[in-house]
Amino acid sequence: MQFRLTRDGAAPAAARRALALAMAGALLAGSASAQMTLAGSTPEDGATLDGPVRTVRVWFDTAAPLEHSTLELSGPGNRAKIEGLHTMGENDLMGRVTGPMPNGEWTMTWTVVGADGTRQTGTVAFTVQTPPR
């Protein structure tokens, strides 16, 4: 797109608007929310376990601020809880599981708030299937 300058050296109004829009777009692109990506988990998504877990852990592509993060479990009876949420300094969140974890399908829900304030939530689903004794 080409614009001609007026006699006084100023660009026409259309050119100034186009430039302003382009600059605004560039600023918005630069400040777009930095989405965190789940890099892995223990247990893994879709896993079938031969017994209850005692710790859970999720890893991200960047560090999740601990003070704005949560890990929660839901499953049969909803009595298993994650306590002692902490990080091992490896872009992770980790906690110990307390309470009964009977056989069935379980979901671990993670929530993090990125450095730009964007809240993200995701899930990891797994099955506990303790063999009969």
Query: What is the CATH number for 94?
Result: 2.60.40.1220
**Interatomic CA distance for residues 59 and 37, integer angstroms:** 9
Whether 89 is in a domain gets the answer yes
Query: pTM for the complete prediction?
Result: 0.73
The chain-wide mean pLDDT, for the chain, equals 84
Shared domain check, 62 and 20: no
Residues of the chain with pLDDT under 70: 1-34
Residues 116 and 62 in one domain: yes
CA dist 45 to 79, 96, 125, Å? 21, 18, 5
Distance CA 14, CA 83 (A): 59
Is the domain of 2 the same as that of 56? no
Alpha carbon distances (Å) from 52 to 78, 93, 105, 107, 127: 13, 19, 11, 13, 9
The answer to whether position 133 is within a domain reads no
Q: Are residues 11 and 43 in the same domain?
A: no
Does any domain span residue 2?
yes
